[in-house]
């Protein structure tokens, strides 16, 4: 017989459920200013699923995470570069689209630059599978926000075509996005 030390079932590694790709109504949990790895001004938008079968999906994952250094899910964080003079047009378009969708999803709301007033505001989110490759060569699937839409369009089932998945080794891989992601921080979450 093998001499096996006693084990503790409480130490079993937890596996988190993955959000299926699709369109969801999301809500803003917090927004904060940050710097990209390239030194560009940006905002980090932390969000969760607001309605439907997956309501509170990321908050549940956060609460179930027993790691001491737990942070809000990378998969529920959007990074928006703040447009500046001479920036590429897609940066301005993405910024303008996000805020227009927030305003059109929240009756009477107008963004006036106060990010604290955006907490709890909803928007539509269209999600796809994005793969990342770890240093050891393993490839992991994540369900990530591809773009935002008006929340009512999600509720009305108007989002009928989902974006292509972003797969490792396929043109347009995650490398173009990673260059703008800031260093992670270990703030206390969720926000109060």
pLDDT along the chain (192 residues), means of 10: 66 71 97 92 96 96 87 94 93 95 96 88 97 90 95 97 89 45 47 48
Buried b (16+ CB within 10 A) or exposed e, 129-165: bbbbeeeeeeeeebbbbbebbbbebbbeeebeeeeee
Measured CA to CA, the distance from residue 78 to residue 177 in angstroms comes to 11
Q: For residue 143, what are its two tokens?
A: 């369900």
Tell if the pTM clears 0.75, that is, is over it. yes
pLDDT for position 180:
42
pLDDT for position 184:
44
pLDDT for position 137:
87
pLDDT for position 174:
43
Report which of 189, 73, 190, 96 is spatially closest to residue 148, judged by C-alpha positions.
96
């Amino acid at each position: 017989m093998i001499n096996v030390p006693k084990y503790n079932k409480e130490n079993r590694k937890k596996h988190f459920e993955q959000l299926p790709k699709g369109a969801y109504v999301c809500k803003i949990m917090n927004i904060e200013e940050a710097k990209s790895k390239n030194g560009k001004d940006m905002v980090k938008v932390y969000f969760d699923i607001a309605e439907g079968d997956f309501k509170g999906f990321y908050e549940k994952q956060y609460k179930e995470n027993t790691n001491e250094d737990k942070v809000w899910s990378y998969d529920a964080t959007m990074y928006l570069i703040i447009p500046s003079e001479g920036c590429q047009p897609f940066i301005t378009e993405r910024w303008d689209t996000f805020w227009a969708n927030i305003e059109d999803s929240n009756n009477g709301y107008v963004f006036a630059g106060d990010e604290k007033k955006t907490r709890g505001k909803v928007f539509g989110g269209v999600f796809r599978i994005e793969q990342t490759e770890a240093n050891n060569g393993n490839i992991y699937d994540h369900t990530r926000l591809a773009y935002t839409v008006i929340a009512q369009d999600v509720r009305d089932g108007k989002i009928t075509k989902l974006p292509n998945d972003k797969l490792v080794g396929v043109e347009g891989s995650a490398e173009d996005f990673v260059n703008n992601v800031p260093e992670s921080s270990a703030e206390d979450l969720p926000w109060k």
